[in-house]
Amino acid sequence: MLFSAASRVLIQGITDPLGKVYAPLMQQYGTQIVAGVASGQGDTNFHGIPVFDLVEQAIATVGQVDTTVICGHPYMVLDAALEAIAAGIRHLVLLTDGVPPLDMVRLLRKAEATETLVVGPNSPGIIVPGEILLGTHPPDFYAPGPVGLISRSGTLTYEVALQLTQAGFGQSIAVGIGGDRIVGSSFQQWLQILEEDEATQVIVLVGEIGGDSEENAARYIAEAIDKPVVAYIAGRTAPLEPVMGHAGAIIAALVADLSTEIGTFESKLAAFKAAQVPVADRPSQIPDLVKKALQKVS
């Protein structure tokens, strides 16, 4: 797995609102936060974490950093991410929402050229239960186990994790890929990562209406994934006409001039059925589908 208790983590924007709240919680969970960055606040510390003005200053003092968690203002995320990449950090977790789309385009071009993994923006981040917390996941909802959970949602990720934990199915990892219109890593990338992860026996994919990421993921599952996959799609009862924010899911297909069928609940359901992926009607059904999938594996 790319992330473990041994991962050395930097928090950019550690004194911004997100950083102030979640850096201590990540640290409490056991995440090895070696430094923070906050412009103008160098040579201070936050909850015992040394704070620097620049990423390069942090690395020069504390040594190698594997992952950075970016918590800053949306219009400062691009600069923070490019600074991290220039310093050699290859795993970026963007918690901030509302990053300008053109900034994300620039970042993703740089990430592709440098083989950098970007999670988010507008993401709850990543948790490997019992190992590391990189973001806003409530740790009490999670337990170590064989289920790899990838999701477009934030709070729905937590709900599904809690349902699984209460049913006795822990998680190998939970990843929120992000809810903004342009995000870094895709369902396909994480499906491939979990396909190769020895700790993951079954994958749960939580999607929602809008865009075509679930349809693309379903095709990829049919072509390249051997492990069992269970899906859930949020937004079954949402009205079709209004363009909604992420809280109700974005009908991005209309903006992108895709077919009006693409992005609907029916389109995504049909894609998963064609890939022979069972789809839960509600989150509470996911543990039963996971149980059946694990029985087939064993």
b/e per residue 14-35 (b: at least 16 CB within 10 A): bbbebbeebbbebbebebebbb
Q: Which residues are catalytic?
A: 246
Distance CA 91, CA 115 (A): 9
Contact 92, 84 (CB under 8 A): yes
Residue tagged 């991290």 (tokens): 84
Instruction: Kindly state the helix (H) or strand (E) to which residue 206 belongs, with its residue range.
Output: strand 202-208
- As a whole number of angstroms, the distance between CA 46 and CA 131 comes to 22
Read off φ and ψ for residue 74, nearest 5 degrees: -55, -35
Q: Which residue has the tokens 């095709």?
A: 219
Residue 243 carries which DSSP code?
P
* Block residue for tokens 């589908």: 289
Phi-psi region of 144 (alpha: psi -120 to 50; beta: other; left: phi over 0): beta
Distances (CA, A) of 257 to 186, 211, 239, 250: 20, 10, 19, 14
CA 202/CA 184 separation, integer angstroms = 23
